[in-house]
Structure 1
Amino acid sequence: MRTKFSSELMALTDELAHMARLTHEASERAAAALMSSDLTAAYEVFALEEKVEIEHAKCEDRSVILLALEAPVARDLRHVVTAMQIADDLLAVSRALSRVADVVVRRYPNPAAPPHVIALLAEFSGAVTHLIDSAVRVIAAQNPPRDRVLVPRDENVERLRAQLVELAADDSWEHGSAMAIDIALLAYHFERGADHCVRIGRLIRFFHTGIPLYAQTEA
């Protein structure tokens, strides 16, 4: 019985890792779509979101079965509950990236923003992709460090969000209110994706150490 339970926990972790890799791929395709007004890349983001949703459902089903039938305790219970929350975060990141792709599709064949704004969005997208990559690695790690933050906040995220919102709200903005709203929404979606990645790192640390999220510091 214990061997079967352990194998189910391993399968749950593998499903999470697969979800994370799909989300990372979606972030790369979203960046390509945004930077080059690439309609194919945008639709690939949508397709990857569907795959992430399928994997999320698998994780959810497996977690519910483990909780209902196996009655896990202590560390095993923490494993299952943490996995469910991480799956939710990965799905949220994937959905945020799809909202980015929505803007590309809606504005195609025109670019989503003027060149100077696209440059900021490219930097923002790169920061989020890096955070997702960090999340992929900590999910797959057998024994990640327990004495530090696993997915550190990127200070550039807040700076870029503020810059983009300021540009869109500036009186000298010449590209219309609809595009200004799109820029603000893109900043919001990227920021939300970054926040979920940081939270995944905290969840992984909680699993390995038992330190609740609210008690974890940035140090």
Structure 2
Amino acid sequence: MRTKFSIELMALTDELAHMARLTQEAAERGAAALTGADLTAAYEVFALEEQVQVEHAKCEDRSVILLALEAPVARDLRHVVTAMQIADDLLAVSGALSRVADVVVRRYPNPVAPQHVIALLSEIAEAVIHLVDHSVRVIAAQNPPRDRVLIPRDENLDRLRVQLLEIAADDGWDHGPAMAIDIALLAHHYERCADHCVRIGRLIRFFHTGIPLYAQVEA
């Protein structure tokens, strides 16, 4: 019985890792769509979100079965509960990336913003790709460091987001309110992606150490 339970836990982790890799690919395709007004890349983001939703359902079903039938305790319970929450975070990241692709599709064949704004968006998108990649590696790690934050906030990303919002809200902005709103929404969607990635790091640390999220302090 214990062997079967261990196999199920491994399968849950594998499904979570696959979900994370799909999300990473969505972040990369989303950046390509945004910076190049690439309609094909935008639709690839939508397709990847659908795959992430399928993997999320698999993780959810397996987690519920493990909780209902196996009655895990201590570390095993943390494993299952943490996996469920990480799956929710990855689904949220994928959804936010789809909203980015929505803007690209709606504005196609035109770019989503002037070139100097797209340059800032490109930097933000690359920062989010890095955070999602970091999430993939943290999820797959067998023994991550226990004495520090696993996925720290990207202060440069926060700075870029504020800069982007200031440009869109500036009195000299002459590209219309609709585009300004789109830019603010893009900044919000990427901020959500970053927040969920940071939370994934905290969840993984909770799993390995038992330190609650609220007690984890940024270094």
TM range (shorter): over 0.9
Q: Which residue does 1:148 correspond to in 2?
A: 148
Looking at structure 2, the residues matched to 153 and 182 of structure 1 have their Cα atoms a distance apart, in angstroms, of 24
What are the Cα deviations for residues 140-182 of structure 1, in whole angstroms up to 9, with x where unaligned? 0011110111111100121111111111110000100000000
Looking at structure 1, the residues matched to 141 and 178 of structure 2 have their Cα atoms a distance apart, in angstroms, of 43
RMSD: 0.4
1:27 and 2:17 aligned: no
How many pairs align? 219
What are the Cα deviations for residues 6-27 of structure 1, in whole angstroms up to 9, with x where unaligned? 0000000000000000000000
Give the unaligned 5+ runs of structure 2.
none
1:138 and 2:147 aligned: no
Give the unaligned 5+ runs of structure 1.
none
Q: Which residue does 2:167 correspond to in 1?
A: 167
Q: Which amino acid aligns with 2:107?
A: R
Q: Which residue does 2:116 correspond to in 1?
A: 116
Shift of 1:211: 0.2
Q: Which residue does 1:204 correspond to in 2?
A: 204
Q: Which amino acid aligns with 2:202?
A: R
- TM normalised by structure 2 equals 0.99
1:178 and 2:178 aligned: yes
Q: Which amino acid aligns with 1:83?
A: A
Q: Which residue does 2:189 correspond to in 1?
A: 189
Looking at structure 2, the residues matched to 82 and 159 of structure 1 have their Cα atoms a distance apart, in angstroms, of 30
Looking at structure 2, the residues matched to 151 and 177 of structure 1 have their Cα atoms a distance apart, in angstroms, of 35
Shift of 1:80: 0.3
Looking at structure 1, the residues matched to 88 and 169 of structure 2 have their Cα atoms a distance apart, in angstroms, of 32
Q: Which amino acid aligns with 1:206?
A: F
Looking at structure 1, the residues matched to 173 and 72 of structure 2 have their Cα atoms a distance apart, in angstroms, of 57
Q: Which amino acid aligns with 2:207?
A: F
